[in-house]
Every structure is written in C-alpha cells, then in structure tokens.
Structure 1
Amino acid sequence: MILAVDIGNTNIKAAVFEDTVLVEKFVFVKSNASDEAEKIFQKYTKITHSILSSVGKEQESLFLILKEKTRLLEVNHDFKFPFQNNYGTPATLGIDRMVLAAGAVLQFPGCNRLVIDAGTCVTYDFVDSSNIYPGGAISPGLRLRYEGMHTFTAKLPLLYPEMPQNFIGSSTATSMHSGVVNGLLYELEGFIAQYKQQYQDVTIILTGGDADFLAKRLKNTIFANSNFLLESLNFLYLYTIKK
C-alpha cells in the first residue's frame, strides 16, 4: 500500500492507495499532523511506501514518521517529472502545480491537457500533447475573493461561497455572491475558451477544494475530480519506481 500526502496552504490531505485504487482519503489540520498520521498507520498496517509534496511549511514531525515507517519519496524541483519543463522561472514553480501536470501526462496520454486547481488560489497548468509544459496562470480563489473584499473595504461583510440565484444581486450579500462566483465562472470559461481556440482536443481537468462547487455551473465538458492531486502523487510514485 502507498500513502500519498499533500501539505497545502491550509490543510494536509492524504490518501491510502492499493496500486491505482484510492482506498481512503483523509483531511486534517497541520497542528494534528503527527497524531493523524499515526492513526492512518494503525488502521492500514500494510502501508510500506509513501510520497510527499508540500507547498506550505514542511511538517518535520510528519516527515520523520513517514521516513521511519515507509520508504519515503519526497517530491522536489530535482524530481524526474514525465514532462519537459519550459517554465521561465522553474525554481519558482509550485510543487503542487508540477505534480498536477505530471498527473495529467500520466493519466491522459497523447493529448493537450489543462489542469485547473480551484483552491486557495486558482492555478491553470497546461501540458501539450508532446508533454511540454509552458506554464499557465494564477488567480485568487473563491475564499480569497470574499476575504479580500471584506478586509480591504470598510463595510462589506465576510461571506462564504454560495451559488447566486440570479446574476443581478438585489442586496449587498447577493451582489457579492454574484460578483465572486459568477466572476470566477466567467474567468474559468474564458481561459478554457482561449486554450481550446489555440489548441485542438484539450482535455480539461478541474480539481481542488472548490471543484465540485464550480463544476455544476461550468458549460464546458470537463473532468471534475477533487482528488486529482492525490491520485497524481500516486501515479507519479508508480511511474518513478517503474523507471
């Protein structure tokens, strides 16, 4: 069994895999990382390997547990990814974005792929059919948009994502919901349209914490998979040990 661990900006996500099958997923806060990891190993005693990626501050105690109990593979910028990285500043490219690009290559071979990760930030990562990664885009996610309006204005309240019933807001709250949610949906549709205009047969993968919330309103045909990063870590591990 393989344990895939993703240390994000907000939470830690982990999943136990049996070959390519996701057996169980876990989400926990960073302060509970050690205790939660121990619980996973107690429940799944057959875990022998692990893979870790991190965009946040590395959790030393979690790292030590994984290193003690498994054969640990830590993903970093020196990792051998299954694509050619043509990003202008490769040392600044987030590990999570590289893992998502790798997952797209390994799970959707031979086509153009656009991975959209709708989390704290929304990241767009493109890999063409020749497995060349030129880059993408980054914008604020739903939560950041709500928090930004509340923090940098005097009177706008702090709201949480809610699907607007009408694009015309009839109150401050409904106007904010329309601006944030519809604004992001229009952004997503616009980016997707641009890629499809320039490239043929683009496979769109939508993932991240807000993927399911947004997927219901997108007009384009997409693969919505909130577990895509964890699955990509697992595929990357299998790819690496086979190589």
Structure 2
Amino acid sequence: MSCRSRAKYTKKRTAREKNPRPRPCEKLLGRYTESARSPRGIRGMTHIAGGKNMLLLFDVGNTHVTIGGYDGDRRLFTGRVASDRHKTEDEYAMIVESVLRMHGYALGDVEDGVISSVVPVVTQALDRAFQLLWHKRMMAVTTALDLGLTIMTDAPELLGKDLIVDAVAAKVKYSCPILVFDLGTATTCSVIDKDGRYRGGMIAPGLGISVDALGSRTAQLPYVSLDAPDQLIGTNTKNCIRSGVMYGHAGMIDGFIDRMEEHLGQKCTAVITGGLAAKVAPLCRRPIVLDEYLLFDGLRALYAKNKDRPRG
C-alpha cells in the first residue's frame, strides 16, 4: 500500500470510528431515536407537552396484552396486541415501538413503565424489551409493593396480579364493600369487604372459553361472535348460542351479587371491567358500574406509591 493510499485509508477509518455505522438493533434502541428527542422530532410524531412524561402501562393477560400511555391523569392512548408466549424480547420491543408510533408518539416520550401480568414468560420478555428500548427496568406488580390493601387469601403471593391491581383501584374509587368483576379469558370476581380488605372471590370460564368449548366439543354447533342477539329467544343456532352465552353470563353476575350481598349482610358496589365488560354490562339486571380502565387506574396508583423502590 502506497503512502497516499495508507493516509486515505487511515482518514476513512478515523471517520468511521468517530461516527460508526449503527448495528441493526441500534436503529431501534437509541442511535436513531435521538430525532424523537429533538424539538422537531420525527415527521408525523405528536409529542407530549413538556417532553418525556409518559407512563407506559402493560396489562398482560392470557389472550391479549393491553398497552396504555398516560401523562399524569390524562390517558393518551390504549392499544392491544396478542399475548404470545413464544415471542422474544426483540419482537416485543419492535411491537411496543410500533404501538407508540401508531398512536403518534416516540420512544423519547416515555419516562417509565409498569407491568401487571398473569403470564410469567411474557412478563420476562416484555421486561427485557423495556430494558432494550429504555435501558432500565419497569416496575412489576408483586405483593412486595406497598399495595395499601390487606389480602386475606390463603396464599397472597399466588393471587393474580390483575386481581390485585383491580382491587387497589376499586378501593380508591368506590365505596366498600365492593365486588369487582373482570371479564377476560376467565371471568373473575374480587370481594373487598366493608373494612377495605381483599377477602377472596371466584373464577369462572370466560365468554370466549364458553364459545370455544361449544365449537370444539360438539359436532354441529358453530363458533360465534361475542355479541348479544337482538332478541332473547334465539330463532337460529348462532343466535341461540349468543343468547345463552351472553345472557347466561349476565345472569351469573347478577346471581353472584345477590348471594354475596346476602352473605355479607349489606349492599355492595358492583364494578365490571375487562375486555368484554362493555358487552355484558347492559345485559345485567343489577346496578353495576362499567369501568373499562380500572386496571390502568390501579397501576398508576401503585406507581405513585412505589416508583422509588428498588427494582430487582
């Protein structure tokens, strides 16, 4: 190599060392996200007033992961993706960034995160994804947090994190005693007594499980959508299934409220939440409060009390 060629090669190498080509993951993890932190940001992005203030919330269920973005008490967006036990942290990192971008936000808008999960393997993947994107761990709901709630079950550490978070929010927002119905893959009821203690509850097959069971365990009954029929008495197979599943579920909730009030000896505040709550609430005969974002309210309350605690 001639002296001139060597000098030219050295100059190019020095330039590359000063401005190295980003690895593929760095486009997602930070080097290319500086534009999201700049005053102008990425074209099309809508940034939060004041900058990096978003609290990112994750509700991990057996069927879906619901993602919410909040700036203080203001809900910025909600999104829902499949809860997939086989996805890696890299895949979840791309999904989370895509959800943010779809709603007009960038990685630089996020300050911190909180996760409630009933699927441990997805919890781990999302936690690692959060670390890839923001270089820190998010807060995870456990019974080690300051819950502001006494749990009276046989094994509090085994209680579903979604049930804990629902109860935390309900205790803050409503008058005790409270019955919280959460309609997801399973339908659950949490009982909070007059003293604000979590007493226990019930777990029943959810609406989706009921429909799937009929479709898979019978020869001639079809799968149907989870919508209430126009009339109570079905006049075809699909509407008969819808009527039985939807009105049957509402009747179960009404019946449980009756039995629990009789057991406790006083009227209860009934609250319904979860992905399918809005479809069932109008079919219930007993007064019941529809609170679709109860779990997110609970996550925000827990974050406010525990955000400075060490994260293992």
TM-score, structure 2 as length reference: 0.71
Separation in structure 2 between the aligned mates of residue 171 and residue 194 of structure 1, nearest angstrom: 33
Whole-angstrom CA distance in 1 between matches of 2:125 and 2:234: 48
Residue 250 of structure 2 is aligned to residue 181 of structure 1: no
Give the gaps of 5 or more residues in structure 1.
none
Structure whose CA Rg is larger: 2
Secondary structure of 2:220's partner? coil
- Please give the residue correspondences for 1:218-233 in structure 2 after superposition, counting only pairs within 5 Å: 218-233=284-299
Select which of 40, 49, 56 maps to 1:3: 56
Partner residue, 2:188? 123
Count residues in correspondence.
242
Higher relative contact order (CA 8 A, sep 6+): 1
Match 2:203 to one of 110, 116, 138: 138
- Native 8 Å contact 1:111 1:201 kept in 2: no
Q: Scaled by the length of structure 1, what TM-score is found?
A: 0.89
**Among 106, 112, 118, the residue aligned to 1:43:** 106
Bigger fraction of residues in strand: 1
Gaps of 5+ in 2: 1-53
Map 1:1-243 → 2, pairs under 5 A: 1-30=54-83, 31=87, 33-39=92-98, 40=100, 43=106, 45-56=108-119, 57-67=121-131, 69=134, 70=136, 72-108=138-174, 111-197=176-262, 198-241=264-307
Amino acid paired to 1:175:
C
Q: What is the CA–CA distance in structure 2 between the aligned matches of 1:113 and 1:199, rounded to whole Å? A: 13
Aligned mates of 1:206, 1:44 — CA distance in 2: 33
Give the conservation status (yes or no) of the 8 Å contact 2:187–2:204: yes
Assess if the C-alpha contact under 8 Å between 2:58 and 2:115 holds in 1: yes
Q: 1:172: Cα distance to partner?
A: 2.2
**Residue 63 of structure 1, CA deviation:** 1.0
Following superposition, the deviation at residue 127 of structure 1 comes to 1.0
Q: Distance in 1 between matches of 2:267 and 2:304?
A: 27
- Please state whether the residue corresponding to 2:234 is helix, strand or coil: coil
Are the structure 2 counterparts of residues 101 and 59 from structure 1 closer, same or farther at C-alpha, using a change threshold of 3 Å? closer
User: Deviations 1:3-28 (Å, cap 9, x if unpaired)?
Assistant: 11111111111111122221211212
Over the aligned positions, Cα root-mean-square deviation in angstroms equals 2.2
- CA-CA distance at 1:106 after TM superposition: 2.4
User: Residue by residue, what CA displacement relative to the aligned partner does 1:160-218 show, whole Å, maximum 9, x if unpaired?
Assistant: 21212333333322221221111111101111222333343422211111111111222
